[in-house]
Structure 1
């Protein structure tokens, strides 16, 4: 590129396609400008993912330090590049990262956006005008020893690593909220159901404890999957051969990057393979899909258990958050579980997108990492927001209808299963059939037939007897 005099409102930059006027006050340059024009796809700039912007700056900072250590970059340029990167990592200039999240070119537009912003801020720190690339160049200096093909996937992994641990924190908040309810409802007896039919008694605490375990298991699966994205291909340059980089560059830049970010990144053992392979993203997306599927199932349960308030199950009450209808006065809907359901649907779709994009890679590079990045980041950030919203605006406010649950247990035909050891299968079957026809409770029919006394029934129907493995009362 060359720098030429231009009106105060703009500057002229040059690339292989010719000269273009760039607004004088912006920090990006001609490559970014063309990308903005070429990819008016979503209207969403990459700055929507601040961890991605910080990751790009961390990589450029690590590269500059490494190049200086190897005698490739002078101290003055290194200093201002590092200072510019530190500012971006602290949150400055994120509004200058303007290329669309969905773009052609395997992420080149994102990489050049970062190169230009950092170069122009570094020029300012040197006391020169933006665009004066003869003094400090986006490609020659900021992008030294790098290619989009190793910068971009490394940035995705750094940002993904941060994002997954933010999601894990949110899942722990939700897990704790369910645990509190499991403890609170530990003594509340209800009927369990299989295939939506009465099964056997359990407690509401047991029901909610399953959600605690589910979230705990998925947290562990995420911690396992995130280990895979610590392996980076920085130093691979174009296809993994390390062309245009110092022989010691890959090892040193990895150490510098780990020190800058605090993320224990590792250089992939085969950089050619690592540059073309998206398997770690596929694996991580699959675990995010697992989280989504199970969270959606939990929300289905909450909506079903709270259905009513008069004509449904109405076993639990979700906190009312807003009016539910423009025509039905007094109606309140389970809007928080509903929004989490929709997040889950999106994540499942994102996983399909990531799978297709990873499969579509050809030879030494996958050109479709931008859509992988966008889909992966959406899944992680939306799941995080969903977990926090579900915990704070739903789970923490759940109450139970204790009396209704007690009556449902007493009136349930499924109660005969608990009486099998005492009255025998044949008697239990007759009681169940009679209860179904007459509408009488199992409790009343057993008493009427004299099969058990009231004291025996009350002892058998204690929650601690009904809801855990135990020898029949009186036979222990």
Structure 2
């Protein structure tokens, strides 16, 4: 030991730990064993561990498994973890034991050392607060880690992602109202089709996001069931009676979410279908955002040589070689975030299938990917809503020009002229490179007044009524 280190002991003997670091022997050993990658758990997971340990300490006190004063000190130290004051004292990557045991022990050790410090003891004493006997009382990593997974996912879902998607939905609805009377050419198979309004396009976008919100909310009830109290294998060994109920009451007070004991803790520890389901809903949201982002950037392509129907707000960025070039950068960010979510869902699916008998052994990589998906969908949705969608406008001159040249507008004439004559109008317009209006008049089928009355883009966008 040097002045820069201290010695702590565990079941395997002494371990040298950097002085001033609140983790203990098991964390230090793990850091030397799992030298893989640099990916760390999201801070929200660490903060959820703080909340979990507060709730466990209070539940233990209510059950008589911990003295009230000791439980209070543990809760105070865990509260500091939940507020992010000890994030730098969680050095491990996600690449560790599949149960997440090392990060659970990391939390136990940090909280025990901080609790002892609050009681006037030096780091490493394990007295009067022991990381296993007290901070981890009535718990196992096998039920605590999945509980933290659910707490973090449910909290991020309700307090970060759903609010962000609501903002995006409202921004799309606002553009739908603003563009309700603006006619455009619909496109099917990437080709010109019949008239519609730009408002209808944005109404479809808003509906996709609204449906995504509903799918996420549908997944929430399963996330609110917690495995805490199952201990090592789901039987509840060493957990006092009512510990799970008291725990859920306490975590509910801390988070404002109606968590409840899982009625089958074996399922809550051996399978993570609730999180796979959530990831599936996240994947659908990602697919929707890709569709919306791509449609917007296509409709805004140009501005001179593309479709150019939408005017995308300037983000102040440009090309490294082409002066003044403006690109749909935010839409591209949204699309890339969605690609990552789709890849994450594959990982989550494989991880969720990796339960072996009574324990899923891919918990760290599973929750890492779920939380990353939630975070990047949340952030990209907010940026999309505030920095792109809210500032969108239409190029009315381009839209009118496109409508005038739209061949399939003559579909409205089918009931009047019949399919074959309308097909001849279309063919003539293509062959002579003239608008369909001119073709109809050149063929002697309709005069200008009749054509304009029958081929009304806004009326057609309403179904011809």
TM category (shorter chain) comes to: over 0.9
Write the distance in 1 (CA, Å) between the matches of 2:318 and 2:34.
39
Q: Is the 8 A contact 1:187 1:463 kept in 2?
A: no
- Equivalent positions of 1:180-259 (< 5 A) are 180-259=174-253
Matched length: 464
Cα distance between partner residues in 1 of 2:457 and 2:427: 25
| Structure 2 equivalent of residue 276 of structure 1 | 270
8 Å contact 1:177–1:391 — kept in the other structure? yes
* Mapped pair 1:319 → 2:305: no
Deviation at 1:322, TM superposition (A): 4.4
SS at match of 1:21: strand
Q: Secondary structure at the match of 1:67?
A: helix
Deviation of the 1:323 alpha carbon: 4.2
Confirm whether residue 299 of structure 1 aligns to residue 293 of structure 2.
yes
Rounded to whole Å, the distance in 2 between the matches of 1:408 and 1:230 is 52
Give the alignment of 1:386-405 within 5 angstroms.
Answer: 386-405=380-399
Question: Matches of 1:89 and 1:159 in 2, distance apart?
Answer: 11
Compute the RMSD of aligned alpha carbons.
Answer: 1.6
SS at match of 1:191: strand
Structure 2 residue aligned with 1:14: 9
Report deviation, 1:349: 0.6
1:136 match: 129
Tell me, yes or no, if structure 1 residue 347 matches structure 2 residue 362. Answer: no
Q: Which residue of 1 aligns with 2:71?
A: 78
> Displacement of 1:251 after TM fit?
2.1
TM-score under structure 1 length normalisation: 0.94
Matched, 1:173 2:136: no
CA distance in 2, matches of 1:330, 1:196: 29
Measured in 2, the distance between the counterparts of 1:143 and 1:300 equals 49
Paired residue for 1:260? Answer: 254
Runs (5+) with no aligned partner, structure 1: 1-5, 472-476
Tell me the residue number matched to 1:146: 139
Partner of residue 33, structure 1: 28
Is structure 2 residue 438 aligned with structure 1 residue 444? yes
C-alpha distance in structure 2 between counterparts of 1:335 and 1:44, whole Å: 27
State the Cα deviation string for residues 354-388 of structure 1 (Å, max 9, x = none).
11111122111011110001110110000111101
Secondary structure, aligned partner of 1:245: coil
State how far apart, in whole Å, the 1-side matches of 2:359 and 2:92 are.
Answer: 21
Taking the aligned partners of 2:7 and 2:455, their CA distance within structure 1 comes to 84
Q: Aligned partners of 1:72, 1:190: CA distance in 2, in Å?
A: 69
Name the structure 2 match of 1:56.
49
Secondary structure of 1:13's aligned partner: strand
Q: Structure 2: any 5+ residue segments left out of the alignment?
A: none
